[in-house]
Amino acid sequence: MEKIDKVITLVEKAVISLSGVCLTAIMLIVTVDVVMRYLFASPLSWSFDLISMYLATLLFFAAVSDTFRRGSHVKIDLFDKLGSVRIRAVMESIGYIGALVLFFIMFRVSWEDGIKSLMAGDVIAGAIPWPTWIPYIIAAIGYGLLTVRILFTVYERIRVVITGVASERVVEHLE
C-alpha cells in the first residue's frame, strides 16, 4: 500500500505544481491587462474568460487533493481528543466514507456534463468562443483524484481500526 500512496502523492505533487503555474499565469495576465487598460486604453478582451473559466478552475481543483493529503482541509475536530486512536479512526472513517460518496457523485456529474458539453460543441458567447467542456473535465479530474485519496485514507483508517496500529502518516492526522 505504501507504493500506491507514493504514486497518488506523486500525481498530487505534479498537479499542485500545475496549480502554482496557474496562479502565476493569472497574476501575469491580470498585470498585463491592467497595464494595457490604463496605459494604452486597450485591455485584453480575452483575459477575464480565460482566467475565470480555465485558470481559476484549474488553480482550485489542482490543489484540492494535495490539500486533503496534507490535512490542510476544513475539518470539524470536535471529537479528535475523545477516545483512543481506534475510536477516532472509526469516527474519521464514517466521515470520510460520506465524503467519498459525495465527491464520487461530483466526479461523475462533472465528467458526464463535460462529455455532454464536448459532444454538443458548447462554447460561450463572446469575442472568443471558449469551449465549455474544459472546466467540467478539470473539475472531474480534481474530484477524481480527491476521491482516490479519500478512498486510500479510508483504507488507512480501517486498517487502524482492525490492527490498532497507525502508520506515521495516520498518527500525524489522528493525534
Report pLDDT for 165: 76
pLDDT at 167 over 80: no
Q: Tell me which of 2-11, 63-72, 97-106, 164-173 is least confident.
A: 164-173
88-144 pLDDT, tens digit per residue, is: 888 889 999 999 999 999 999 999 999 999 999 999 988 899 999 999 999 999 999
User: Given phi > 0 = left and psi -120 to 50 = alpha, else beta, which region is 122?
Assistant: beta
- What is residue 174's predicted lDDT score, i.e. its pLDDT? 44
Dihedral through CA 56, CA 58, CA 63, CA 66, nearest 10?
Answer: 170
- Over residues 8-21, the pLDDT tens digits come to 999 999 999 999 99
